[in-house]
Amino acid sequence: MSQFGPDYVRAIAPYQAGKPIAEVAREFGLDEASIVKLASNENPFGVPESSKRAMAEAAAELGRYPDANGFELKAALSRRYDVPADWITLGNGSNDILEIAAHAFVQKGESVVFSEYSFAVYALATQGVGGRGIVVPARDYGHDLDAMLAAIAPDTKLVYIANPNNPTGTFIPAATIEAFLAKVPANVVVVLDEAYNEYLKPEDQFESAQWVRKYPNLIVSRTFSKAYGLAGLRVGFAIAQPVVTDLMNRIRQPFNVNSLAQAAAIAALNDKEFLAKGAKNNFEGYAQLTAAFDELGLEYVPSHGNFVLVRVGQDDGAGARVNLALLKQGVIVRPVGAYGLPQWLRISIGLPEENAVFVEALKKALA
Ligand SMILES: *Cc1c(COP(=O)(O)O)cnc(C)c1O
């Protein structure tokens, strides 16, 4: 072990990202064009045309620093969510928001509460500031908010909630979350991470951004990486009252969201057709994948996101084994052994033809 750095940094297990297409092509001797990647919950339609046009225009000004305050993007978000612009913090992806929250609100040795099987970055952000993660056992693969409330310790400064959750796809209805928020001690900041919010069915949607008016300790986090198709650009944002927002802005790097990303995000935010097309594809793709799982007799967790967690075997080698068999056929999905789910794989919902390629490959992998 090296002598450099604090022990809590040396103890961090690095984030495992989905394998890039080029890497799988090299490793397995495959043609890149033939590879199907359903591993990182990206939008299968890619970047919206409206964002491409906005970026082409913004490219002319790349010699200058981006707007450090993201004036226009914040103005657009302020209109969309009906909150003042100074309640918004922009992030280099919402991952940045999660990290900024840990840096702004947690000191070394203090605790952070999050759920078992929730997003890996919560543990990483906690460890990065020398915090102590309190991992609350999941209930039916989702957050057990009663247990999370009970787990809040005197030194707890932050709670992370993913809704819908990644990698399990579970969803907590509005009333349950609000009842939780009403009971959380006022000195504990709650990050409500809604990376998949735009994929919710209309009847499940609710305006969490408006809860921020009522709860000064609430941060609502959103991203342009999933439904908006801008994962490679890295744009996310947080909505919180000015006291919390001001603290986050002290930690935030001044130019954390680049100019192309700001321009593309504004265009995407106004591109209702793109979102609608993505939502329709997602509902249909979910039906396509889960019908195949039913046919194969595979258990899956009902999902509210753009991915499905499926159990591919009853032994702890199953996830890795089936994943390798899929990779050899040029299909990249996400093993979730690192989440404590070694019998499962997480499949992002793709285009109909991509889902079909995956299903055929899965049948061979299981045979
Ligand atoms: C994908 C994801 C994010 C963040 O992605 P960014 O690209 O950093 O915005 C945040 N939370 C959850 C639960 C996610 O799945």
**Distance between CA atoms of 72 and 30, rounded to whole angstroms?**
43
pLDDT in tens, 141-166: 999 999 999 999 999 999 999 999 99
Specify the residue for token string 């102590």: 132
- Domain 7-46+273-366 and domain 51-269 have a common topology: no
**Distance between CA atoms of 308 and 40, rounded to whole angstroms?**
12
Ligand 1 atom closest to the CA of 236, numbered from 1 = 9
Tell me, in angstroms, the distance from the centre of ligand 1 to residue 226's CA: 8
The domain locations on the chain are: 7-46+273-366, 51-269
3-state class (DSSP) for residue 294: helix
* Atom 12, ligand 1: residue with shortest CA distance: 195
| Backbone φ/ψ region at 141: left (φ over 0), alpha (ψ -120 to 50), beta | left
Average pLDDT in the chain: 96
Tell me, in angstroms, the distance from the centre of ligand 1 to residue 237's CA: 11
- Per DSSP, 34 falls in state G
- Say yes or no to pLDDT of 34 above 70: yes
pLDDT-derived band at 212 (thresholds 50, 70, 90) equals very high
What value, to the nearest 5°, has the Cα angle with vertex 329 and ends 326 and 334? Answer: 30
Ligand 1 atom closest to the CA of 98, numbered from 1 = 10
Ligand 1 atom closest to the CA of 94, numbered from 1 = 9
Specify the residue for token string 């103890």: 11
Counting residues of the chain whose pLDDT is more than 90, the rounded percentage is: 96
pLDDT in tens, 223-267: 999 999 999 999 999 999 999 999 999 999 999 999 999 999 999
Q: Is 119 in the pocket of ligand 1 (CB under 6 A)?
A: yes
Distances (CA, A) of 210 to 87, 195, 200, 249, 314: 11, 17, 17, 21, 43
Query: In what helix (H) or strand (E) does residue 251 lie, and over which residues does it extend?
Result: helix 242-251
Q: Is 162 in the pocket of ligand 1 (CB under 6 A)?
A: yes
CATH topology of domain 51-269: Aspartate Aminotransferase; domain 2 (3.40.640)
Q: Identify the pLDDT of residue 13.
A: 86
Q: What is the mean pLDDT of residues 108-124?
A: 97
Q: What is the mean pLDDT of residues 68-84?
A: 97
Mutate to test the pocket of ligand 1, among 115, 223, 237, 339 (most ligand atoms within 8 A of CB): 223
Q: Identify the pLDDT of residue 15.
A: 84
**Distance between CA atoms of 162 and 182, rounded to whole angstroms?**
18
Q: Identify the pLDDT of residue 1.
A: 54
DSSP E strand boundaries for 146-303: 156-162, 189-193, 218-223, 236-239, 300-301
Alpha carbon distance, N-terminus to C-terminus of the chain:
43
**Distance between CA atoms of 322 and 365, rounded to whole angstroms?**
6
DSSP E strand boundaries for the chain: 36-37, 88-91, 111-115, 132-136, 156-162, 189-193, 218-223, 236-239, 300-301, 307-311, 331-332, 334-335, 344-348
CATH topology of domain 7-46+273-366: Aspartate Aminotransferase, domain 1 (3.90.1150)
In angstroms, how far is CA 172 from the centroid of its own chain? 15
3-state class (DSSP) for residue 71: helix
- Per DSSP, 18 falls in state P
Tell me, in angstroms, the distance from the centre of ligand 1 to residue 13's CA: 18
- The answer, yes or no, to whether the previous bond of 164 is cis (omega within 30 of 0) is yes
Tell me, in angstroms, the distance from the centre of ligand 1 to residue 8's CA: 23
Q: Is 94 in the pocket of ligand 1 (CB under 6 A)?
A: yes
pLDDT-derived band at 28 (thresholds 50, 70, 90) equals very high
